[in-house]
Amino acid sequence: MDKIQMTTPLVEMDGDEMTRIIWKYIKDELIIPFVDLKTEYYDLGLENRNATNDQVTVDSANATMKYGVAVKCATITPNAARVEEYNLKEMWKSPNGTIRAMLDGTVFRAPIQVKGIEPCVKNWKKPITIARHAYGDVYKASEMKIPGPGKVELVYTAADGHEERVLVHDYKEAGVAQGMHNLDGSISSFARSCFTYALDTKQDLWFATKDTISKKYDHTFKDIFQEIYDNEYKEKFEAAEIEYFYTLIDDAVARVMKSEGGFIWACKNYDGDVMSDMLSSAFGSLAMMTSVLVSPKGYYEYEAAHGTVQRHYYKYLKGEETSTNPVATIFAWTGALRKRGELDNNAELSKFADRLEKATIDTIENGEMTGDLKLITELTNAKKLNTEDFIKAIRRTLEANE
Ligand code: NAP
Ligand code: MG
């Protein structure tokens, strides 16, 4: 069989630990035998980030802006323990943070649903997609430990030098303080990404903040969404028979639990971080969640929503058998290949992505799966496979489905 040809390369961002091992298995077993894979390769593994003073992360984001589509492996965000473990020159920043700050935009996360792995919430019949704002708030905050009595103020010094101040707190004892920010431009592009994605996928859009308490900060998010909706999207939504719905975050949480799914839930940065893990666990597993960063300029970066699965990697290093779920990483590749196919008018490539996703789902529905899924499946014929054998099983299904 001839391999499917590619015209434009994908930006390939390699990563760390168990997901780096899986990355190679996926390429070797599931992609390279079928596609004449063209990538521009960036090694975002922690050792190379350290060796390049993290320049490689910046280069990979620039390449994404050049080519439009990237696929990223999970990477370690260094903490003090990692600085020691990898003998790092510095506690390098989160690569996702760096890339998101450069591309801007919104992260969309949706569960991958398979028969036999049912959501714990019985009434969820359709996937719920989380749209997470990828800029600012607590992720770009400045913090202080307040050692004892004294005042903390927010001071705005305008370009012309005039000042505005608000009191944060008049401390009578030690405590903590935090200043965070966001930008109208970033909130606007968040809103536009969400409205566009809702139209693309023909799903309702929900958005929620805590505007009753945060009367300036969160209220600005609410106002910008409403203004952009009214001016740019209202008619399109009505024509597509979908709805934009704003409510308070606590009300949204309650309604999500009672809903049947099938909508996009736009969340501020922190809410999206927390709620996407809640949703993915409730839908089955963190490893059954797709994740794509959509920038307002039309750049796409596909990844898995989970981390580098460190615990499994240490078992792997000791030569012990691992059963790490590669599904989210496979779907990062298929998402990127499908998008590349769309942009290049390469229908064969997009069709291959569909076939690989189907083969992955069929394999699980036939009872072959990794340990995390075996624990939660309702299938009675389920068999736990190790990481490599599961990927080989997907290849067999893919070839048998031809
Ligand atoms: P993690 O890699 O998501 O894993 C946490 C636990 O979830 C695992 O120990 C495992 O549970 C389960 N799990 C996650 N993915 C799985 C998979 N594919 N198959 C089977 N089980 C899976 O989170 P972490 O261990 O807290 O973080 C490890 C590293 O990942 C950290 O250095 C962190 O900085 C990084 N991280 C990167 C990203 C990213 O690049 N997008 C995101 C989050 C974290 P059991 O151990 O119970 O089997
Ligand atoms: Mg998180």
Q: What is the pLDDT of residue 281?
A: 83
Task: Name the residue at shortest CA distance from atom 32 of ligand 1.
Answer: 76
Structure tokens, 92: 């390098």
State pLDDT tens for residues 226-257.
999 999 999 999 999 999 999 999 999 999 99
Distances (CA, A) of 346 to 36, 38, 299, 338: 13, 14, 18, 9
Span from the CA of 275 to the centroid of ligand 2 (angstroms):
9
Structure-model confidence comparison of residues 166 and 103, the more confident one: 166
Report phi then psi at 107, rounded to 5. Answer: -100, 120
Q: Which of 306, 313, 391 is the best mutation target for the ligand 1 pocket, counting ligand atoms within 8 Å of the beta carbon and taking the most?
A: 306
Task: Name the residue at shortest CA distance from atom 42 of ligand 1.
Answer: 307
Distances (CA, A) of 10 to 45, 56, 86, 202: 18, 16, 29, 27
User: What is the rounded average pLDDT of the residues 201-221?
Assistant: 96
Q: Is the pLDDT of residue 395 over 70?
A: yes
301 lines ligand 1 (CB under 6 A): no
User: What is the rounded average pLDDT of the residues 352-378?
Assistant: 96
Count how many Cα atoms sit within 13 Å of the Cα of residue 232 in the half-sphere of its side chain. 15
Answer yes or no: pTM beyond 0.85.
Answer: yes
Q: What is the pLDDT of residue 93?
A: 92
Structure tokens, 369: 């799966």
375 lines ligand 1 (CB under 6 A): no
State pLDDT tens for residues 261-297.
999 999 999 999 899 888 888 887 889 989 999 887 8
For residue 180, the Cα-to-chain-centroid distance in whole angstroms is: 22
Q: Smallest Cα–Cα separation from 78: which of 65, 88, 66? A: 88
Q: Measured at the alpha carbon of residue 22, what is the angle toward residues 105 and 69, in degrees to the nearest 5?
A: 30
The number of the ligand 1 atom at minimal distance from the alpha carbon of 306 is 3
Span from the CA of 326 to the centroid of ligand 1 (angstroms):
12
Q: What is the mean pLDDT of the chain?
A: 95
* Cβ-proximal residues to 46 (8 Å cutoff; 6+ apart), any chain: 16, 75, 76, 78, 82, 86, 88, 92
Q: What is the pLDDT of residue 335?
A: 96
Q: Is the pLDDT of residue 1 over 80?
A: no
Residue 129 parent element (H or E): strand 128-133
Q: Three-state SS for 310?
A: helix
Residue with tokens 């308490």: 213
Q: Is 365 left (phi over 0), alpha (psi -120 to 50) or beta?
A: alpha
Structure tokens, 206: 């929900």
For residue 346, the Cα-to-chain-centroid distance in whole angstroms is: 25
For residue 225, the Cα-to-chain-centroid distance in whole angstroms is: 22
Distances (CA, A) of 147 to 38, 143, 174, 175, 351: 55, 13, 5, 7, 60
User: What is the rounded average pLDDT of the residues 320-326?
Assistant: 96
Beta carbons within 10 angstroms of residue 32's beta carbon: 12
38-52, 106-120, 372-386, range with greatest mean pLDDT: 38-52
Length of the chain: 402
Span from the CA of 305 to the centroid of ligand 1 (angstroms):
9
Q: Three-state SS for 148?
A: coil
